């Protein structure tokens, strides 16, 4: 291919049209937003799309949430097929590891799990929790993580939780190929959700905030795609 990139569809309806067909493969994508903007839903939809296509997915949570928790979360959405868990989609809880080990052990764990499963799609949700545990070494961790991911043939979605009022996690943005921002705005008494592609290395993309909705059937959907 002349531009050197192949792509994989994100699975988020309307987003692929905004980014010329899908995420450059391989690459690392940051999906940032405040609580409740749809980051976990985004990551799950991305993995479910892969599973439907026979690709392998790997979901790391940093939150000490056991598989049971994830299955309960999954049950609110029709698009999440439970039968994929443990098969096409592997779920790994890094909560305890974060509390007990250093950042190098964490990197080794991630690398080992990737080697074991050989996924085309990886999610780490949310990556920002690592920053709370390894303040000093967070920058180094992010640098080494993105370096490690370059050795594998996969698209990785890192979710970044931001505090209200904060713009986006600049620290992580340096290290990744692409940044997608999810926002929630109060307008005329209604809370509206938006998605914006801030940067995407290796492709043109639609600029500006695009309205999104979260539905039981499809998860997060860019609204323009409905017209």
Q: Least Å distance between CB 140 and Mg ion?
A: 25
Tokens of 124: 């780490």
Residues between 135 and 174 that touch ligand ADP (CB under 6 A): none
Q: Least Å distance between CB 85 and ligand ADP?
A: 17
Binding partner selected for residue 128 from ligand ADP, Mg ion, none, CB under the kind-specific 5 to 8 Å limit: none
Residues between 59 and 88 that touch ligand ADP (CB under 6 A): 76-77
DSSP state of 63: S
Type and span of the H or E element at 105: helix 103-117
Peptide bond preceding 77 in cis form (omega within 30 of 0):
no
Query: Cα separation of 12 and 109, whole Å?
Result: 29
Q: Is 156 in the site for Mg ion (CB under 5 A)?
A: no
Counts of helices then strands in the chain (DSSP H, E): 8, 11
Binding partner selected for residue 214 from ligand ADP, Mg ion, none, CB under the kind-specific 5 to 8 Å limit: ligand ADP
Q: Least Å distance between CB 67 and ligand ADP?
A: 17
Q: How many CB atoms lie within 10 A of CB 151?
A: 11
Query: Cα separation of 44 and 102, whole Å?
Result: 27
Contact 24, 203 (CB under 8 A): yes
Among 34-42, 167-175, 179-187, 205-213, the segment contacting Mg ion (CB under 5 A): 34-42
For ligand ADP, what does the binding mask look like between residues 183 and 222, x meaning CB under 6 A? -------------------------------xxx------
For Mg ion, what does the binding mask look like between residues 186 and 215, x meaning CB under 5 A? ------------------------------
Alpha-carbon dihedral angle through residues 72, 75, 77, 81, given to the nearest 10 degrees: 110
Q: Which residues contact 161 (CB under 8 A, 6 or more apart)?
A: 32, 33, 34, 35, 39, 126, 128, 129
Q: Least Å distance between CB 118 and ligand ADP?
A: 26
* 38-54 exposure pattern, b = at least 16 Cβ within 10 A, e = fewer: bbbbbbbbbbbbbbeee
Residues between 11 and 40 that touch ligand ADP (CB under 6 A): 33, 35-40
Q: Least Å distance between CB 180 and Mg ion?
A: 14
Q: Least Å distance between CB 54 and Mg ion?
A: 26
Residues between 38 and 67 that touch Mg ion (CB under 5 A): 39-40
Positions touching ligand ADP (CB under 6 A) are 33, 35-41, 76-77, 214-216
Binding site for Mg ion (CB under 5 A): 39-40
């Amino acid at each position: 291919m002349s531009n050197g990139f192949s792509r994989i569809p994100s699975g988020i309806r309307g987003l692929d049209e905004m980014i010329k067909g899908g995420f450059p493969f391989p690459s690392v994508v940051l999906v940032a937003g405040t609580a409740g903007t749809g980051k976990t839903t985004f990551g799950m939809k991305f993995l479910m799309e892969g599973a439907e296509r026979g690709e392998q997915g790997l979901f790391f949570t940093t939150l000490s949430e056991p598989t049971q928790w994830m299955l309960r979360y999954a049950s609110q959405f029709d698009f999440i097929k439970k039968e994929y868990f443990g098969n096409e989609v592997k779920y790994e809880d890094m909560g305890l590891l974060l509390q007990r080990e250093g950042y190098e052990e964490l990197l080794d764990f991630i690398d080992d799990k990737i080697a074991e499963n050989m996924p085309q799609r990886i999610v780490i949700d949310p990556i920002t929790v690592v920053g709370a545990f390894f303040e000093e070494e967070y920058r180094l961790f992010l640098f080494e993580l993105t370096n490690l991911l370059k050795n594998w043939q996969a698209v990785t979605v890192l979710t970044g939780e931001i505090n209200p009022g904060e713009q986006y996690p600049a620290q992580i943005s340096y290290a990744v190929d692409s940044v997608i921002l999810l926002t929630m705005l109060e307008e005329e008494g209604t809370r509206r959700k938006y998605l914006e592609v801030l940067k995407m290395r290796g492709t043109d993309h639609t600029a500006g905030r695009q309205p999104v909705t979260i539905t039981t059937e499809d998860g997060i959907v860019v609204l323009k795609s409905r017209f």
